[in-house]
A and B are shown apart, each in its own frame.
Chain A
Amino acid sequence: MPPKTMFEKIWADHVVAEEPGEPPIIYIDLHLVHEVTSPQAFDGLRDAGRKVRRLDLTVATADHNTPTWDLSLPVTDEISKKQLDALDRNCAEFGVTLYDRFSPLQGIVHIIGPDLGYTQPGKTVVCGDSHTSTHGALGAFAIGIGTSEVEHVLATQTLRAFKPDTMEIRVNGELPRGVTAKDIILAIIGKIGVYGGVGHVIEYTGDAIRALSMDGRMTVCNMSIEAGARAGMIAPDQITFDYLKGRQFAPQGDDFDAAVERWKNLVSDPGAKYDKLVELNAAEIEPHVTWGTTPGMVVPISGEIPNPEDAEDENTKDALTRALQYMDLKAGMAITDIKLDRVFIGACTNARLEDIRAAAEVVKGKKVHDDVYAMMVPGSAKIKQEAEDEGLDKILIEAGVDWRIAGCSMCLGMNPDILKPGERCASTSNRNFEGRQGKGGRTHLVSPAMAAAAAIAGHFVDVRDL
């Protein structure tokens, strides 16, 4: 047998049927559902008189629309409330397990999947959300799908999917102090561009990846979609197994040990061929800051805003010029001269315990700059509790950071947390598209430590200098 990549093994293990000239039918082990991309899918089932095939493999939560203020306060946005109510109704009618905004297990869908032990190595995972790529950090094949496909998975527990190509991104060497998983993935996107990964599943390899915690690995895989990739994956290892052990919905006892033995076989065989290879040296990666309106418009903190005149083609020149205009920045400006109005620490990219710890460590004993409003939105109710058990909330609150309840929040501004036109934000989320955090808002993507440092200084600073 020729050597296989991890992705090829998982794919081969999930093909239900394959007809010539048709996309293969792939079995789905875990279907995560949220309120935004599911109402029309449930309507479709209802109209056709269909049921959810596997309720035991389907889990729903409310995250995108949920306010991050006190739970005793009502949802004031009537349209958001309607969507949240629709999820309640649909889950009740079809029998789907739902962690609503009051559940202790509620949270951002891509945070709770791994955190509760639902996401496991070797599984196929789908969700009507592009950042489903996050789950690949555990050695799962996890992809975002549209609402029609959500309906297809609900009805059949399978997906008709064309097999993607494979890409290895190898990050060798040791990360310098103060440089994080977020900086690795921003550096990767800076290198391969926002469509460098289109049509491919990325497997991240190399000692810098192996050295990351699970929280860090999830940050890397989360932004695979920002490079255009179908999915991102990291081979499971002892760090993965230690992470999963004892989690509520992971196998328990002897079943866990047996699962670990299976999971160990998932890793790519020596000599397995990928369709593309990209290499980075971790030692050369600095903290990164995006300056423009795609995640690929990114520079190291020591860098400056690029000049469109230096662009290699007209299309790029136009895009850079437009981005400078939208972001109200000038070519040649130092990144550290960019002043901020808001800081958002949260989102499925960076709202796990390690991220909260990193932010707390930076702001401890300091005060948020007078010109800045900073908020920290934990990824789940459980993580919020864990952070509070460690006293991280107190450190953040004393520094002047607003401590919220879990949700997607200002990553995409579907709840009341949005930027006003012209406001500039250091954000640990994953997209800096025009208007992403509110119409006219300006987003700079950074790591939690860099966001926290910017909150104190009122402008970007190199977290390594603190």
Chain B
Amino acid sequence: MDAFTKLTGVVAPIDRVNIDTDQIIPAVYLKSIERSGFQDALFSSWRYNADGSDNPDFILNKEGYRNANVLVAGPNFGCGSSREHAPWALRDYGIKCIISTSFADIFYNNCFKNGVLPLVLPPEQVREIMDKAESDPGIELTVDLVAQRVWDESEEISISFEIDAARKDALVNGLDDIGLTLRMGNDIGDYESKHNL
């Protein structure tokens, strides 16, 4: 799996609650049988006009935000479907970290499999980043998973965060879950014999 250690990049704010997976990537784009190439589908309903041109009002089409690598968004980000195409589309666009007060469970799990960090921060800190990103287009944040810190160049934003140690370890080291589990092959076999499976 892809690793995530430290990232410095532009923050784009989307101040909405419950951004669902159908907004992140509509179902019509799930017909691909590939694992990448979803960058143009990201937020397509919001990002493009009916004629396919860019919607100038959408944040990723605005000056300063086009090359965003970090997204800051409202609570319950990624609710809805289990489609891993959602983190794939974010990753393919270049967004490797999403900051919110909360994430939907399946989306949260899926991010860790793809080198994308879904970072949970308290409401006041998410608000601070949201306000800063809105008022200062193109502002960059550094997200350091190893040091568990987020800051901007001016250090006006300087935040330490908590994250589950096992999840951090998997992401920092880009661990191959399947390889690790297969090393437990004997345990799985024992379980199967014990349960007549």
By a beta-carbon cutoff of 8 Å, the part of chain A in contact with chain B is 16-17, 21-23, 25, 27, 29, 36-37, 39-40, 43-44, 48, 50, 53-54, 57, 64-65, 77, 79-80, 82-83, 86, 128-130, 132, 144-149, 151-152, 155-158, 160, 162, 164, 194-195, 198-199, 225, 228, 230, 294, 315-316, 318-319, 322, 412-414, 421, 431, 433-436, 439-440
Contacts and interface: CB of A to CB of B under 8 A. Distances in A.
Contacts of A40: 33-35, 84
A22 B166 contact: yes
B16 A322 contact: yes
B184 A25 contact: yes
Given A16-B187, A86-B33, A146-B110, 19 more contacts: A37-B82, A40-B33, A146-B82, A146-B84, A146-B106, A148-B1, A148-B113, A148-B114, A151-B178, A198-B104, A228-B79, A294-B79, A315-B17, A316-B17, A318-B16, A433-B20, A433-B23, A436-B27, A439-B45
Given A130-B80, A146-B110, A156 B178 contact: yes
B22 interface: yes
Interface of B: 1, 15-18, 20, 22-23, 26-28, 30-35, 45, 50, 74-76, 79-84, 87, 102, 104-106, 109-110, 113-114, 164-166, 169, 177-178, 181-182, 184, 187-188, 191-192, 195, 197
A149 B105 CA distance: 13
Contacts of A17: 184, 187
A50 B176 CA distance: 14
B75 A195 contact: yes
Given A37-B82, A130-B81, A228-B76, A148 B106 contact: no
Contact of A431 (B22, B50, B105): B22
Contacts of B195: 27
A44 B182 CA distance: 15
A313 to B, nearest CB: 10
In the complex, which of the residues B23, B34, B82, B182 has the most CB atoms of chain A within 10 Å of its own CB atom? B82
In the complex, which of the residues A23, A160, A195 has the most CB atoms of chain B within 10 Å of its own CB atom? A195
Contacts of A194: 18, 76, 79
Contacts of A433: 20, 22-23, 80
